[in-house]
């Protein structure tokens, strides 16, 4: 038997008044937010992730069969330090091939953990990673072609934090005290409370969405935070769901980092939208000591359709706020209905003994200039490419063809800045993720975007023509190319993915 390797946060707890929000489902008492164990990854042997089977009681007392990296479900928080070599070995104790992809990390193709680097049951993959990435919150997950959706859903995913010893972090950074990881996922359960994943037609089309929200593997948990500034590292690790986070009391907070690292300065906001695989670090002021909940407007299918763009910083839709389908969305999906989904709740304890009490006005962000593009490429995301998948459903693709592992779609030259224009062939919301580098968003829907506000990205929402500026410094060969794909995992598995070399 494996013990669940979670630390529970011991902090003073105050009495909680009843939360004043409606819930979409029967309320369950908020269990404490589990704080993932930290695995410091440096040089040398000893850092092992075992991909294993586990069980979890998520809800209703039923036992679900889960997978995890050295845990029942999900994996430890991996901490890397910039400038230091990191050795990690991943052991496959499951009965199908897996990978470990370091999503967002700038490493060469042969270390990237993409589909070409799948390793089978009983095998170990032991990459040595040169950590050359600014301080950031990243993501790791399995990435086997055609199986990424179910594998991540079962639990093969976790958070990465990169520390940069060269910068003096002016933000709260005491892990588990005033700096918390929030891995947000939605899951579906059968009537007994067992976690389920099986794709119906709508799930294939829109991506698989659950009706219960988990943070760090627990449904609607509660966290006791210190009365002061608190940093939340939010990762949308859902297969397809889009969140529009906000606090029940409407309080402002500041975004301080996006996918690839710190922003140039803290950005005040009252709501934050994250598509699948996007990350944001936010700093929230809790010194008023009032308990509050983090909720999400239920974007549902309407958000997956090319619809509402609320809380958006990148320009708004051609068709207006609700999308062309109107209030109820296509096919009767009620995407913007009433009650917000509760994500988790916060209690406020004593002030933290240490840590910043004020936000800095600027942040030590790492911002190399990209210069003007020397090449342009166009990508169209296709909902249909005319074929059928082996397991049922239609193949999807990019530029007319579904992903094929032995076809190289693009060849890129290292060190050259490029402009990529991404579009979709139907009115459907997607994302676009690129391996091997971080990029700047230049425009969305023909409107320029202030990339200083958006920061360094590796996933971007595609809801109309989207332009990104990027340059690759890490190499990728034909044997182990980099991927680009929609990060709605069911679209990716259906073939909405391509691959490229960098030479």
Pairwise CA distance, residues 234 & 218, whole Å: 15
Per CB under 6 A, which region of 35-43, 413-421, 447-455, 483-491 contacts ligand C2O?
Answer: 483-491
Is the Cβ–Cβ distance between 15 and 348 less than 8 Å?
no
Of 83-91, 235-243, 297-305, 479-487, the segment contacting ligand C2O by CB under 6 A is: 479-487
Can you tell me which of 145, 187, 246, 433 binds ligand C2O, judged by CB under 6 A? 433
> What DSSP letter does each residue of 439-468 carry, written as one string?
EEEEEETTEE--HHHH-SBSEEEESS-EEE
Per partner kind, with CB cut-offs from 5 to 8 A, the member of Cu ion, ligand C2O, none near residue 204 is none
Tokens of 323: 């999308």
Within 414-433, the residues that bind Cu ion by CB under 5 A are 430
- SS3 call for 331: helix
E-assigned strands of 109-208? 124-125, 128-130, 136-141, 157-163, 179-189, 195-196
Q: What is the largest CA-CA distance in the chain?
A: 61
How many residues bind Cu ion, per CB under 5 A?
6
Nearest residue (CB) to ligand C2O, 272 versus 483: 483
Neighbours of 16 (CB within 10 A): 14
Q: What share of the chain is helix, strand, coil (3-state, %, to 5)?
A: 5, 40, 55
Residue whose pair of structure tokens reads 């709501």 in the numeric block: 271
Residues 227-286 touching ligand C2O, rule: CB under 6 A, are 277
Binding mask 88-127 for ligand C2O (x = CB under 6 A): -------------x-x------------------------
Residue 106 interface partner, choices ligand C2O, Cu ion, none, CB cut-off 5-8 Å depending on type? none
Min dist CB 403 to Cu ion, Å, is 12
Nearer to ligand C2O, 143 or 491 (CB): 143
Half-sphere exposure of 467 (CA within 13 A, CB side): 17
Pick from 103, 141, 187, 461: which binds Cu ion (CB under 5 A)?
103
Map residues 333-352 to x or -, x wherever contact with Cu ion holds by CB under 5 A: --------------------
Residue 143 binding target from ligand C2O, Cu ion, none, CB below 5 to 8 Å by type: ligand C2O
Q: How far apart are the first and last CA of the chain?
A: 47
Residue 77 touches which of ligand C2O, Cu ion, none (Cβ within 5-8 Å per kind): none
> Closest approach of Cβ 277 to ligand C2O, in Å?
5
User: Coil, helix or strand for 376?
Assistant: strand
Site for Cu ion contains 491 (CB under 5 A): yes
- Residue 154's binding partner among ligand C2O, Cu ion, none (Cβ under 5 to 8 angstroms by kind) is none
Q: Minimum distance from CB of 7 to Cu ion (Å)? A: 28
Count of C-beta atoms within a 10 Å radius of residue 411: 12
Closer by beta carbon to ligand C2O, 215 or else 483 = 483
H-helix or E-strand containing 430?
A: strand 430-434
Position with the least CB separation from ligand C2O? 103
Q: Is residue 488 involved in binding Cu ion (CB under 5 A)?
A: yes
Residues 181-220 that bind ligand C2O (CB under 6 A): none
**Does 474 sit near ligand C2O (CB under 6 A)?**
no
219 vs 483, beta carbon nearer ligand C2O: 483
Show the beta-strand stretches assigned E in 270-399: 272-274, 279-285, 292-296, 341-348, 375-382, 397-398
Interface with ligand C2O by CB under 6 A: which range of 70-78, 80-88, 137-145, 439-447?
A: 137-145
In residues, how long is the chain? 503
Beta strands in 74-135 (DSSP E): 77-81, 85-87, 89-92, 101-103, 124-125, 128-130
Q: How far is the CB of 427 from ligand C2O (least distance, A)?
A: 24
- Per CB under 6 A, the list member of 162, 256, 325, 483 interacting with ligand C2O is 483
Alpha carbon distance 34, 23 (integer Å):
22
Q: Is 400 left (phi over 0), alpha (psi -120 to 50) or beta?
A: left
Q: Which of ligand C2O, Cu ion, none does 277 bind, CB closer than 5 to 8 A by kind? A: ligand C2O
Determine the size of the site formed for ligand C2O (CB under 6 A).
Answer: 11
Q: In angstroms, what is the minimal distance from the CB of 159 to ligand C2O?
A: 12
- Tell which one of 118, 486, 489, 497 touches Cu ion (CB under 5 A): 486
Q: Which residues touch 252 (CB under 8 Å, ≥6 apart)?
A: 268, 269, 270
CA distance 111 to 131: 11
Interatomic CA distance for residues 30 and 253, integer angstroms: 23
- Kindly list the residues in this chain that would bind ligand C2O in the complex (CB under 6 A): 101, 103, 139, 141, 143, 277, 433, 435, 483, 485, 487
- Kindly list the residues in this chain that would bind Cu ion in the complex (CB under 5 A): 103, 430, 435, 486, 488, 491
């Amino acid at each position: 038997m494996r013990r669940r390797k979670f630390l529970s946060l011991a902090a003073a707890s105050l009495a909680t008044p009843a939360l004043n929000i409606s819930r979409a489902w029967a309320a369950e008492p908020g269990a404490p937010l589990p704080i993932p164990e930290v695995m410091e990854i440096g040089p040398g042997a000893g850092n092992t992730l075992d991909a294993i089977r586990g069980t979890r009681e998520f809800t209703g007392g039923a036992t679900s069969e889960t997978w995890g990296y050295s845990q029942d479900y999900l994996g430890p928080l991996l901490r890397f330090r910039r400038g230091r070599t990191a050795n990690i070995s991943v052991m496959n104790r499951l009965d199908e091939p897996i990978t470990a992809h370091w999503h967002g990390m700038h490493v060469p193709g042969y270390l990237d953990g993409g589909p070409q680097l799948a390793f089978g049951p009983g095998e170990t993959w032991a990459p040595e990673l040169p950590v050359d990435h600014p301080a950031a919150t990243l993501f790791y997950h399995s990435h086997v072609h055609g199986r990424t959706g179910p594998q991540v859903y079962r639990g093969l995913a976790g958070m990465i934090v990169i520390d940069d010893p060269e910068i003096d972090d002016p933000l709260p950074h005491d892990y588990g005290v005033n700096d918390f990881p929030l891995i947000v996922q939605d899951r579906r359960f059968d009537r007994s409370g067992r976690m389920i994943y099986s794709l119906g037609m709508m799930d294939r089309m829109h991506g698989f969405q659950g009706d219960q929200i988990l943070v760090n593997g627990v449904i609607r948990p509660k966290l006791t935070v210190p009365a002061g500034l608190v940093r939340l590292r939010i990762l949308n690790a859902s297969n397809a769901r889009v969140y529009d986070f906000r606090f029940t009391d409407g309080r402002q907070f500041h975004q301080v980092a996006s996918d690839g690292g710190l922003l140039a300065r803290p950005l005040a906001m009252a709501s934050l939208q994250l598509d699948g695989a996007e990350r944001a670090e936010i700093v929230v002021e809790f010194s008023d000591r009032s308990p509050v909940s983090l909720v999400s407007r239920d974007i549902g299918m309407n958000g997956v359709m090319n619809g509402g763009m609320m809380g958006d910083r990148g320009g708004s839709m051609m068709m207006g706020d609700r999308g062309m389908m109107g209030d109820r969305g296509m096919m009767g999906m009620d995407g913007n209905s009433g009650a917000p989904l509760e994500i988790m709740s916060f209690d406020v304890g004593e002030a933290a003994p240490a840590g910043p009490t004020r936000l800095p006005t600027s942040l030590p962000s790492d911002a190399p200039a990209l210069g003007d593009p020397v090449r342009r490429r166009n990508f169209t995301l296709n909902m249909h490419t005319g074929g059928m998948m082996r397991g049922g459903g239609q193949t999807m693709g990019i530029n007319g063809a579904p992903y094929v592992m032995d076809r190289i779609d693009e060849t890129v030259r290292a060190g050259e800045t490029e402009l990529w224009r991404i579009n979709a062939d139907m009115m459907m919301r997607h994302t676009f993720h690129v391996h091997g580098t971080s990029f700047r968003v230049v425009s969305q829907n023909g409107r320029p975007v202030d990339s200083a506000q958006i920061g360094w990205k590796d996933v971007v929402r595609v809801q109309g023509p989207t332009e990104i500026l990027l340059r690759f410094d890490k190499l990728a060969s034909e044997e182990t190319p980099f991927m680009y794909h929609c990060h709605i995992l069911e679209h990716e598995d259906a073939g909405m993915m391509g691959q490229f070399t960098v030479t």
